[in-house]
Amino acid sequence: MFAAAPGESSGWTVQDTQGFLELQLRHGRTGVATTVTDARFVDPPQHVAKALRLQNGERVFALERVRSLEGEVAMFSTNWFPSEVGTTISEARDVLDGSGSLNSTLRDAGFVISGAHRIVDAMRAPANVAAHLHIDEDQPVLRVRSLSWDSNELRFDYYETWVLTDVVPLEVNVVTG
């Protein structure tokens, strides 16, 4: 066992309010590619409707993306947005073609993260996730579930991201105060 001073960030700092793309660019990494695999209004899964505090029958905009880093598939994400937010995202051509920042688009539309709750767990990849990540279904991955809200406590983004940590390690920074 050994101890070393922290080096330059090489992964995804999960307690940061910036998105994966913004964090990578901030650290000078330009090899991030995003492929949108689906983007449309859908009936939300029950856990999503509960997290976003939706009314019965309210639809959400679901955005599915595969992220690669330096040509290696790194993660598969699904974001769900309530109707008002979803309309904004559904009209953001750069987000839908994978070239724009989702978080910047949200901020520009007035949806600014005041807080978020994230849960990280390790599990086997479900079939659809494994297919997007190009891995076997029995391969373990980390799943990050996140709920974001604004200063008025409006819950505007719920996502699940499945991360291949051999490509993108998750990082947590600890500070006193």
Q: Find the CATH number of the domain harbouring 81.
A: 3.40.1410.10
Counting the structural domains of the chain, the total is: 1
Divide the 177 residues of the chain into consecutive groups of 10 and give the mean pLDDT of each group.
44 50 53 92 97 96 94 94 97 95 93 91 94 94 93 96 85 67
Query: Do residues 15 and 118 lie in contact, with contact meaning Cβ atoms separated by under 8 Å?
Result: yes
Enumerate residues 6+ apart whose C-beta is below 8 A from 44.
Answer: 52, 54, 58, 59, 60, 62, 80
Q: Which domain holds residue 44?
A: 13-169
Give the total residue count for the chain: 177
Structure confidence at residue 94 (pLDDT): 96
- CB-count exposure of residue 75 (10 Å: 0-12, 13-18, 19+): buried
Domain for residue 2, yes or no?
A: no
Domain for residue 7, yes or no?
A: no
Query: Do residues 99 and 171 lie in contact, with contact meaning Cβ atoms separated by under 8 Å?
Result: no
Domain for residue 140, yes or no?
A: yes
Domain for residue 28, yes or no?
A: yes
Domain for residue 1, yes or no?
A: no
pTM of the model: 0.84
Domain for residue 105, yes or no?
A: yes
Domain for residue 174, yes or no?
A: no
Sheet architecture: strand order including 60-69: 32-42, 60-69, 72-82, 155-163, 140-149, 115-124
Domain for residue 8, yes or no?
A: no
